[in-house]
């Protein structure tokens, strides 16, 4: 699959709108927590490139890897935005060139790791605008304060996100095709990438389980869902509906139990 310059620019603009410090799409709510999710970016990239199905398949696979990613204080162990747009974009082109989805996941993860360097460099260079904004505030220059607080950093971030995305997707697409042609599906390199990409989603799920469980024994609940998938052959959406039912039932039970305890406490105080 070939990507033209206009498509690459559209993906680059989406990459900017979904970046961590972009305020234009409802701030981090609509940008970072929506547009930068690989599941969403996969759909949008597939829509732009004319293959929504492949985009969603690659996006879902990459999303599982980063399902437990957190950014405390803006510190990122991986640049999710780079993985969501550059990585998923390259992954879609690789899958269309007969590569496996697992190898596309490995590519996106590698891009996310490299993207962290650009993100940290961007945060460092933004200190230039902070110093100018402080100086403008001390001098009472409100126009200068507004420019150094809003306009300057966004122009810099636009360049940091759009230019690398466009350059890699448009200029590097022939290189990706040549690599796929050099290393066919049954080669050692592609089999290694497939094996690595197959393990990465398991790592993402394991990190998520580590965060949401207080005791190790609680993992039995999650294993029960995987056992249902394997034994009954039902899909994950059905399991999610079952899980939502039990979660809601548990919530109602705990709510009634809490109300009963509160009534008992009030009666004891009155006595």
pLDDT of the residue at 261: 47
Instruction: Read off the pLDDT of residues 117-132 as tens digits, 9 standing for 90 and up.
Output: 888 888 888 888 989 9
Instruction: Read off the pLDDT of residues 158-169 as tens digits, 9 standing for 90 and up.
Output: 999 999 999 999
The whole-number average pLDDT for the span 44-63 is: 93
pLDDT of the residue at 73: 58
Instruction: Read off the pLDDT of residues 89-108 as tens digits, 9 standing for 90 and up.
Output: 999 988 888 778 888 888 88
Please report which residue ranges of the chain form alpha helices under DSSP H.
5-17, 27-30, 38-49, 52-65, 80-82, 88-96, 101-125, 127-138, 142-146, 152-166, 173-182, 188-212, 219-232, 236-270
pLDDT at 259 over 60: no
Instruction: Read off the pLDDT of residues 224-253 as tens digits, 9 standing for 90 and up.
Output: 877 877 788 877 778 788 888 988 888 888
Q: What is the largest CA-CA distance in the chain?
A: 83
User: What are residue 61's phi and psi, to 5 degrees?
Assistant: -60, -40
Give the relative orientation of helices 152-166 and 5-17 as an angle to the nearest 10 degrees.
140
The whole-number average pLDDT for the span 173-194 is: 68
* DSSP conformation letters of 97-151: TT--HHHHHHHHHHHHHHHHHHHHHHHHHTHHHHHHHHHHHHTT-HHHHHIIIII
């Amino acid at each position: 699959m070939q990507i033209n310059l206009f498509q690459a620019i559209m993906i680059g603009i989406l990459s900017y709108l979904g970046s961590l410090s972009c305020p234009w799409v409802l701030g981090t709510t609509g940008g970072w927590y929506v547009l930068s999710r690989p599941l969403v970016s996969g759909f949008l990239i597939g829509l732009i490139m004319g293959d929504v199905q492949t985009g969603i398949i690659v996006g879902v696979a990459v999303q599982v890897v980063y399902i437990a990613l957190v950014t405390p204080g803006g510190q990122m162990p991986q640049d999710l935005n780079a993985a969501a747009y550059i990585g998923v974009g390259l992954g879609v082109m690789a899958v269309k060139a007969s590569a496996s989805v697992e190898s596309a996941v490995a590519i996106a993860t590698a891009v996310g790791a490299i993207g962290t360097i650009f993100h940290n460099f961007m945060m460092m260079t933004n200190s230039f605008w902070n110093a100018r904004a402080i100086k403008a505030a001390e001098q009472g220059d409100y126009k200068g304060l507004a420019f150094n607080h809003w306009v300057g950093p966004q122009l810099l971030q636009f360049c940091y996100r759009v230019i690398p995305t466009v350059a890699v997707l448009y200029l590097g697409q022939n290189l990706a095709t040549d690599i796929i042609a050099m290393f066919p599906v049954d080669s050692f390199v592609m089999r290694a990438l497939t094996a690595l990409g197959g393990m990465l989603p398991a790592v993402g799920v394991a990190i998520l389980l580590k965060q949401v469980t207080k005791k190790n024994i609680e993992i039995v609940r999650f294993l029960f869902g995987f056992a249902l998938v394997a034994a009954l052959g039902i899909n994950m959406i059905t399991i999610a509906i079952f899980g939502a039912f039990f979660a809601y039932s548990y919530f109602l039970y705990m709510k009634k139990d809490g109300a009963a305890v509160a009534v008992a406490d009030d009666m004891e105080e009155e006595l």
